[in-house]
Amino acid sequence: MSAVAEAPVAATADARKAGDWLLVATTILLCVWVLLPIYLLIVNALSSPQEVTGFPKRFFPSFDLGSLAFFINFAGVAKALWNSVLVATLTMILSIGFGAPAGYALSRFDFPGKGTFRFLVLMTRAFPLPLLALPLAVMFIRTGLDDTAVGLALVHTTLALPFAVLITFSLFSGIPVELEEAAWTLGCTRWQAFRKVILPLALPGIAASAVFAFTISWNEVFAAAVLTIENRTLTAFLLQSLGESPLYLKFAGGAALVVPALIFIFAVRKYLFAMWGIANR
């Protein structure tokens, strides 16, 4: 009797143990998947040009700034960096400027075509950018928007906007409408209630979604490469000029692209988590 009773218990214990191992193994695999390339990038970026091409590799970087110094002083890098910051900032302002009101409207008002609107917002992501890039380039040349930061920021805004809309939509939906109504009964206009009650509660999430928009623009390469010639962003510049450049320069450029994006996301990670946990209670 007891043997029969124990067998399933042992089996479940085994299954749980196997599950634990699977979890640990998957976690390690995912961490390696994400961290290893970043590690290699940073080690090589912080090594002298000779070490990058040499063998065997060092486990710890030598903190030789030769590669980075060469990269920074490389003709055009500073300008491309400035362009990237400019375009990403414009993208951030535009996507929050348009996305947050749209998200607020979606969460607070019922209007005809609301479902269709949400669907269309998502559908903009379904268009492959290469398909749009050529007609866009033609249109931009006609309107004089080609090779300008504003023009590229507009394209990046169309990429970032769906996220901005959907993130702020869920953000505003998480703030009970009663808080707003309470503010109205306490003497606020609609705008005052938004500014004094909703905005302070939504601000961390809005900031996070702004940084997210910034990062999307910062990382985008295709539209940037097609639509700019003189005023290249860093991604487009690297794509163009690093094809034939030495390995250590590629690593330095890669690090210059990845590290800021990592820092941004790291800085707002608290708000990214808070974004899902925000509540009245």
Partner 1 sequence: MAEIAIKGVAKRFGGFTALHQVDLKVADQEFMVLLGASGCGKTTLLRIVAGLETPSQGEVWIGGRRVDHLPPRDRGIAMVFQNYAVFPHLTVFENIAFGLRMKKLPQADVERRVNRTAELMHIEQLLKRYSGQLSGGQRQRVAVARALAMEPDVILMDEPLSNLDALLRLEMRAELKGVLAASKTTTIYVTHDQVEAMSLADRIAVMHQGRIVQAASPVEVYRNPAARFVGSFIGNPPMNFLPASKAANGSWNVAGLTLPGPKSDRQKIEFAIRPEDVDAGDNGLQATVRVIEPLGPHTLVTCDVEGGLFRAVLDSGSTVAVGDRLRLAPKPDRIRWFDPETTNAL
Residues at the contact surface with partner 1, assessed by CB under 8 A:
176, 178-179, 181-189, 192, 196-197, 200-201, 280-281
Among all chains, which residue has been given the structure tokens 């990429």? 159
* ∠ Cα 128 132 135 (to 5°): 165
Q: How far is the CB of 179 from partner 1 (least distance, A)?
A: 5
> What are φ and ψ of residue 145, in 5° steps?
-90, -10
Report the nearest approach of partner 1 to the CB of residue 200 (Å).
5
27-57 core/surface letters (b: 16 or more CB in 10 A; e: else): eeeeeeeeeeeeeebbbbbbbbbebbeeeee
Torsion of CA 207, 212, 217, 221, to 10 degrees: 170
Q: Which is nearer to partner 1, 27 or 192 (CB)?
A: 192
Q: Provide the minimum distance between the beta carbon of 118 and partner 1 in the complex, in angstroms, as a whole number.
A: 20
Q: Is-cis flag, bond preceding 56, omega within 30? A: yes
Nearest to 159 by CA among 133, 208, 124: 124
Q: How far is the CB of 107 from partner 1 (least distance, A)?
A: 17
Which residue's CB is nearer to partner 1, number 141 or number 182? Answer: 182
CB atoms within 10 A of CB 69: 11
* Cβ nearer to partner 1, comparing 2 with 280: 280
Nearer to partner 1, 188 or 207 (CB): 188
Name which of 178 and 244 has its Cβ closer to partner 1.
Answer: 178
Q: Residue 199 is encoded by which pair of tokens?
A: 């905005």
Q: Give the nearest distance from C-beta 274 to partner 1 in angstroms.
A: 12
Q: Which helix (H) or strand (E) element contains residue 10? A: helix 2-45
- Name the residue nearer to partner 1 (CB basis): 106 or 197: 197
CB of 211 to partner 1, least distance (A): 21
Contacts of 102 by beta carbon, 8 Å cutoff, 6+ apart: 121, 165, 168, 169
